[in-house]
Structure formats: structure tokens, C-alpha cells
Structure 1
Amino acid sequence: MDEQVIRDIVRSVLSGKTEAGVKVPIEVSARHVHLNKEAVLKLFGAGTELIKKRSLSQTGEFLSEQRVKLVTHKAEIANVAVLGPERGKVQAELSVTDCRLLGIDAPVNLSGDLTGAADLLIVGPNGIFEAKSSAIIARAHIHAAPEDAKRFGLADGSRVRVSIPGKRPVTLDDVSVRVKDSFIFKMHIDVDEANACGYEDGMAGTILGPGHIGVSAAPGSSGIVYCEKLITESMARELIKTHEGEICVSKTAVLTPSAKDVLLHAGVNVRRVG
């Protein structure tokens, strides 16, 4: 029997996934900003609060009635959505196209991670807010509640591959997973990614699995914890190309005999964690 077929069968049995893979509803997240209290007051005036226009899919989040303009030395983008509720830090989530238009070099980060974020000005009807280290390109990500994560074999901070159908089907290889009690099972992509695949409302992606991308190892371990529940010979051969000495796998992972042989002959120790 073909190794890939064996891998798919075992993964299906161990994880409860369907043969076609886990389907995740996709939503497009257009450019928007998150504001803190200081920015809200400066942009919209003393005593102002964000006015809810409609709820978003994630619990507690909403689109506000307010809009702002983003300005840099090169260009400006008007009518940018403001999402609520207020946050601790100001953040602008943009696409690569937006950043090129504005002439800024923003990193691809998850929401809330402002490491290396770019500077810009946010203009409101009542004033201007200098938003230093605020602009990022939002990384494609999946929101999952703990029960969904457990059911589908996902882990907070892990990265998965997702196949997206459309007029021009694409596969995203670096989709982050975020797990939280309040999360609704959804995948968020930006407008550039949506246009690339010809996104249409109601579209769902297929999680193809973690592949060779893992999560940070637990305390006392080293390297990366690989989330695959089955590691085959071909996967082991790929792993030894980029790892020396040791790899960490889930304590429930199944290694085929041939995979064990490959790792043994390469001098790579397997540590089980979790």
C-alpha cells in the first residue's frame, strides 16, 4: 500500500478527521485599526466611545461606526474601519498592497504582536494620533476554541497548511492557530490572499495538517514539537535535512519502523513531550 495512503488512514483514525480533511470557514479581514483609549479621545474628542455598528464573528468584537484615515509621507488611505472594543495598544492591520501604497515596511505578524511594526499617522475628525510601531501585515490564522483544537489535533501557536478553493485555488503553508475559550472556529485571510484565490462568500478551506511545522517545545525540551500524529519514513528524511541531534514529538505520535530507522541512522534522538 502506498505510504501516503497509509499515512492518511492512520491520521484519520487517530485524529477523527474526515478523509477530505477538516473544513474551516473562511472570512476576509479587510484593513482596519484597533485603538486604545488615548487614541479614541484624540481622534474623536473627549468623552467619546466607540459606537457599535455590528458584531463580528469572534465573541465580543465589533465593527464601530467610526472611520479614520491612515497617512504616511507617501500616501494616505481613507475610510479605514475601526474595530472594538478598545485595546491596550494601537494597531493597524494592513495588506501587502496597502503597505506598498503607503510606502512602509511592515512585518507579517499575528494580531497583538507589534514586533518591528511600522509607523504611521491616524487621522480622525477631531485630531491626529502619531501611531508609532503600530502597522503590521496580518498573518493568516485560524481561531479555535479548546474543544475544536482538541477535536482536530490543533495546538495554540502551531502552524498548519490550508488549501483554499476558488477560481485560482491556493494553499497557504504558514497559517497560525490561535486557541482561546471565546473563539469561534474560523480562518481569517486578508484581501490580498482573498483576491489571489478568487474568494467568494461562504467559502471554506481544508486543513491539510501541520506538515513539518511545529510549536515551541515544552519547558525542559529543546527545539520544535512536531504535531503530526504519524511520522513516516519520507517525513523523517525531510526532518533530518534541517535537524541535528534531536527532534521533539508529541507523546502520542506514531513513528513507523522505517521512520525510526532513518532517524537512528542519522543519529537523531526522538524526545516525546506533552
Structure 2
Amino acid sequence: MSLAPPAPHRAEIEHLVRRALYENLGQPMPRTVRAPNPLLVNVSARHCHLTPQAVETLFGKGRTLTPMKWLYQKDQYAAKESVTLIGPRSRVISNLRILGPCRDLNQIELAFTDAISLGFEIPVRNSGNIKDTPGCMLMGPAGFLELPVGVIRAAPHVHMHPDDAAFYRVKNGDYMKLRVGGACGVTFDRMFVRVSPDFKLEVHIDTDEANACGLSPVTPCELIK
């Protein structure tokens, strides 16, 4: 049975309702409501991206990824399949989730504390920039895969549609700031901007970064040019 298509996110529905209320009341809309889309700040836990060839090596010839849960970005999903990562000195992380669909390179994204527990020294990189990064071994039910490179700590970044980029007056490859409120409020100064017609407005930070600022679903967040 195929996975049902994702329903509209609660934040999208709430954004439309707030806009309609302000318009019906004839009141000026705050900047967050004037924005074309709601801002979501999501926590990206450790995971990996694999090529079709890597999936076959690890899970068997002809095997493909099976969607388990749709993610916020269009056509992106967490797969049912996971692997075991073997790092230096044979330290391991079990059940490392694979995100689909497959890509044209193999990339493992870990948080800083993950790297410490494995004995890695990993650089902060934008997705796809894996030159001169550490490698590792992945183990699946059908085999092993030795990766010479590909282990990174993903740089904080924001996905946005061109309409969002026009609203915030930024372009692909720029940097923004993310101001996080709450009791442990912080400001991330280097939020890499990625713009595509296929993207929805979403910030990705890792588990360490989210824990450091006490991020929760109700924490106020704001993007600043």
C-alpha cells in the first residue's frame, strides 16, 4: 500500500486563518502574517542520503526505498529502511534513518555530539559539499558499503520559494539570521539560503542546535536579513 499524500501542515492552515481574520477586521497585518508563507523551524536529526546503487548494495539488487513518513518539503520522505553506521574504532550508530528519494551522492549528516561519540572530527558543510570530509562504513541487511567521504555536520539553512525570497529580499546562496526567542533565546548568524520553486519556507537546524536554544513548537522564531 502506498503512503497517502501529505495533508496541509497545521502552520500553513493557521497562517491562512490569521491572514483572513486580519483582512476581515480591516486591521494592519503584522510582518509574520504579511509573509507569503509561514516560517517553520524544524529539527533535522541524524540521517543519510544514498544513491540507488548504494541502496542496492546495502539492501539487495533491485531494492528501492520505501516511504514511511512524508517530510515538509515536496516529495521528500523518511524511508522505512535504515542502516548501521560504523565509525572510527568500530563505534556504531544503529538505525540511521535514510531520507528519500535517492540522490546522486552519498552523504551522512550528524550532530556534533554524534561525531564525538563516534570519534569523528567532521566539518560544517552545506549539503552536497563533501570534498575532503571523513568517510565511514555503512552496514545493511545485504552488505557493507565503504564510503571514502561524505560525513558532515549540516550547516544551518533555510529552504524558501522565490516568493519568500522576494519578501525577505534575499537570493539563493545568501545568508540570513534566525532569531529564536524563549528562555534560552539565541540568534543564528549564518543561515544559508536555498531558493527553489519546489521549496516551502523551512529552516533546518540539528538536534544540538535545537537543544541549545530550547526550541519547541511554540518557540517564537524570526528570519532577519
Q: Could you say which TM-score interval applies, normalised by the shorter chain?
A: 0.7 to 0.9
Secondary structure of 1:193's counterpart equals: helix
**Is the CA contact (8 Å cut-off) linking 1:26 and 1:203 kept in structure 2?**
no
Q: 1:20 to 1:85 in 2, by over 3 A?
A: closer
Q: Structure 2 vs 1, CA of residues 19 and 145 (structure 1 numbering), >3 Å: closer, same or farther?
A: closer
- Structure 2 unmatched ranges of 5 or more: 1-28
Q: Identity of paired residues, percent?
A: 34
Match of 1:18 among 31, 35, 39: 31
Q: What displacement does 1:153 show? A: 0.8
Number of residue-to-residue matches in the alignment: 194
Shift of 1:18: 3.0
Report the AA paired with residue 56 of structure 2.
L
Consecutive aligned runs of 4 or more in structure 1 exceeding 4 Å deviation: 19-23
Is residue 180 from structure 1 mapped to residue 193 from structure 2 by the alignment? no
1:68 counterpart residue number = 83
* C-alpha distance in 2 between matches for 1:204 and 1:129: 42
Q: Kindly name which structure, 1 or 2, has the bigger radius of gyration based on alpha carbons.
A: 1
Residue 192 (structure 1) aligns with: 208
Say yes or no: does 1:103 pair with 2:119.
Answer: yes
Unaligned runs of 5+ in 1: 1-15, 210-274
Equivalent residue number for residue 59 of structure 2: 44
Contact 1:26 1:202 in 2 (8 A): no
* Aligned residue number for residue 16 of structure 2: none
One-letter amino acid matched to 1:163 = R
Work out whether 1:206 is the aligned partner of 2:222: yes
* Aligned partner (choices 45, 50, 53) of residue 30 of structure 1: 45
- 2:148 & 2:170 partners in 1: Cα distance? 34
Aligned-pair Cα RMSD in Å: 2.1
1:208–1:52 Cα change, 3 Å: same
Deviates more, 1:22-31 or 1:101-110: 22-31
Deviations 1:50-80 (A, max 9, x none): 0010111011111100011111123111111
CA deviations on 1:10-42 (whole Å, 9 max, x unpaired) are xxxxxx983999773200000000010111011
The change in CA–CA distance for 1:79 and 1:107 in structure 2 (over 3 A counts) is same
Distance 1:204 1:118, change over 3 A: farther
Q: State the TM-score, normalized to the length of structure 2.
A: 0.81
Counterpart of 2:179 (choices 163, 170, 173) is 163
Show the counterpart of 2:24. none
Distance (whole Å) between structure 2 residues aligned to residue 19 and residue 79 of structure 1: 38
Shift of 1:131: 1.4
Q: How does 1:139-154 map to 2 (within 5 A)?
A: 139-154=155-170
How far is the alpha carbon of 1:199 from its aligned partner? 1.3
The CA distance in 2 between the partners of 1:157 and 1:27, in whole Å, is 20
Q: State the one-letter code of the partner of 2:148.
A: K
The one-letter amino acid of 2:146's match is E
For 1:154 and 1:21, locate their aligned partners in 2 and report how far apart those are by CA, in whole Å: 17
Structure ranking higher on relative contact order (CA contacts 8 Å, 6+ apart): 2
Contact 2:182–2:220 (CA under 8 A) maintained in structure 1: no
**For 2:67 and 2:134, how far apart are their aligned partners in 1?**
28
Q: Which amino acid aligns with 2:84?
A: K
Query: TM-score of the superposition, structure 1-length normalised?
Result: 0.67
